[in-house]
Amino acid sequence: MDKAQKSEKMQPPGDAREKIVDALMALVAEKPWDEISLGDVADGAGLSLAQFRDLFPSKGAVLGAFSRLIDKQVLDASTKDLANESAKDRLFDVLMRRFDAMAPYRPALKAINHWAMHDPAALPALNQLAINSLRFMLEAAGVNSEGPLGALKLQGLALAWTRVFHIWLVDESEDLATTMAALDKEVSRGEVLVARAEDARRFIEPLATPLKKFAELILGGRD
């Protein structure tokens, strides 16, 4: 075994994963997603195709790893300075931190977005990727994503995030004023919708048990 092979074999999996992520994001900033092969990514990371296969099953999985790395960067940052803010302001700040973490990769993300907009089959997977990430963003902001309304909050936030993401992609201002205004509008609208849904749940919840018993009585009477 030569030194290069030994070095590759001893390389920590985490480092190899990050090299693959970096390689894919560098490549996709230069040429269309559909023209990038798995071998291209492996070569760009300085790894063999076999090593790539040990770590990821596809380019889509690498994109998922990129999203998790961005999440980790946001989650690793202290949120103590947000403790006294409202839930709306905390969520706004956390999501802006995510945009800041994504900033070095904007050319690649523009290319990925262009590919996704022309490949409807990719949209459900990217939506799920957003939901997986935003679940942790809500938690970082101290907003509960569990319970009966959890799925509603997450899907609503995913749609809002996507709208603001498209604005961020073309916002070239240093202070991201257009992005911040759009995000503030979306978070405020989401807060109102969630409040209305909470009110509806509180109204319906007391009726749930009687209605269930009534349904059981009716269905039981048919036997």
Give the DSSP letter string of the chain: --HHHHHHHHS-HHHHHHHHHHHHHHHHTTS-GGG--HHHHHHHHT--HHHHHHH-SSHHHHHHHHHHHHHHHHHHS--GGGTTS-HHHHHHHHHHHHHHHHGGGHHHHHHHHHHHHT-TTHHHHHHHHHHHHHHHHHHHTT----STTHHHHHHHHHHHHHHHHHHHHH---TT-HHHHHHHHHHHHHHHHHHHHHHHHHHHHHHHHHHHHHHHHHHHHHT-
Q: Please list the pLDDT of the chain residue by residue as tens digits (223 residues).
A: 444 444 444 455 669 999 999 999 999 999 999 999 999 999 999 999 999 999 999 999 999 999 999 999 999 987 677 778 888 899 999 999 999 999 999 999 999 999 999 998 898 999 999 999 999 999 999 888 887 777 888 888 999 999 999 999 999 999 999 999 999 999 988 776 555 455 444 544 554 455 455 445 555 555 4
pTM of the model: 0.79
Say what the alpha-carbon torsion angle 82, 185, 65, 106 is, to the nearest 10 degrees.
Answer: -110
* Cα–Cα distance for residue pair 91/79, rounded to 1 Å: 11
At how many degrees (to 10) do helices 13-28 and 106-117 cross?
70
Query: Residue 180 is encoded by which pair of tokens?
Result: 């911040």
Tell me the C-alpha distance between 168 and 178, whole Å: 8
Tokens in use for 53? 């296969």
Structure tokens at 74: 């946001």
Q: What are phi and psi of 120, to 5 degrees?
A: -55, -30
